[in-house]
Structure 1
Amino acid sequence: MALNVYVGSLTRYYAGGWESVTDRTGRERRWKAEAGQPRAAGVPKKDHERIQASVLTWRRTLDSALAPHLTEPLSWNESPEAPWFTDWMGWDGFGSLVLWAAYAEQPTLSRPAVLPRDWDDDAALVRSNADGFHSRFSHLVRNVELWLPTTLDFTFEAEDVDGRRVIVGSSTTLRCQLAELNAATWKMDEDEMSALARGRPEGDPSFEVSARQAMAVLSGLAGQAVKHRLPMKLDY
């Protein structure tokens, strides 16, 4: 199953007014293979006003519930003009980064050479999610699917716009935790991470190579989420 990361308004996301890297590559290849044929029209238009109203209602409800923990109300751009960003990561890349963070705070355990098949049951990750354990990388290792553009020192479970139960975190906190993880392990600078995010590992990359690649991609998108004050979510 493919895994993409999206940054932008939730109205655009749920209306389908965006395109993943995988979809865009496939469309461009199909178009090139059909020389002389017009490009596909893309996804049909949906009721943006209805979706936007649902998103704003959902945000108000969440804002009310989180009010005691917020320094300012939840707010971000849900207009059609809001910018959006996306990149492909893949579950192996994301899983490698999550486990890399877990092993960084579980120094008594040895990191594997390759990503375990059932990485979400790995001993290091289980320890990082144990009751009472204060994880330094909680907004990465706690099965978060949606990061909001606000500052929170905790993650929580809530319904998303579609009514699914998901774990929610903070893009601001995630960005700080990713920077801390990088500083504690690879110490990559911004230029190195930008170059790494533009490429793709070749062959069958090791656990560490996959984790570094995912770090570069996720850090870049978290930076856009913070800069533009927009939600970030996993898409799969």
Structure 2
Amino acid sequence: MMNSESAVSRIRRFFYDTEIPFGLAICRICLPLVLMGMVLPRWSVCRELYSADGATGQLSVGFGYIDLLPELSGSAVAALYAILMFSLMTLCVGWCSRVSAFVACVLMSYFSMLDCVSTMTKYTAMCSHMLLILSVSQCGSIWSVDSWLTNRRRNLDPTQPTFAYPRSAAWPRRLLQFHMACVYFGAGVTKIHTPTFFTGDQLQYWMLTHLNYQHRLGELLSGYP
């Protein structure tokens, strides 16, 4: 019984110990910057990739669900794509952090599932889940516009205590860690059952194609197997 109680207390401490959310703040700043590297190049062709004016490739088609997601007009898609970029920028600077993360999560998932050929990748799926976790965390409590506004209001009120870094439960950071670990563990198990991964053919083929992005260094390296 003693061991059971100590194990429960350790698990509780693992998830619910309070900490200053430095890691969440770094993730909140860096994740949108990484996603912008994918989102910005597609801005000029968002009508063709994601709207009814172009040629979408819905992920749901492969599972037997035709037109599971609504395909909007080109103007509506352009507006939503602009909102996606704006939400990523506001998340990076930490303005309305939770709302920005949730909006970015919904729109990123929507556009990714509309284009399974090039937009839907392993890391876009991972980033969508990470955005969802950030939307329910205290990622904007430090190093953000939100924290600056909070401290400004506190300084105007003499009854408020002096500045101190806010603390929050550790479970959002733990969920991010578990998420990353599970994804890469699953990827490793998949590669174990893929003979072309061990021969190097799969990697060489990926370096020679531009299915997801251009990688000119891959073309150079593929010439020296």
Which is strand-richer, 1 or 2?
A: 1
TM tier, smaller: under 0.3
- The answer to which structure has the higher helix fraction is 2
TM-score, reference length from structure 2: 0.25
Higher relative contact order, chain-length normalized (CA < 8 Å, sep 6+): 1
CA radius of gyration, larger in: 2
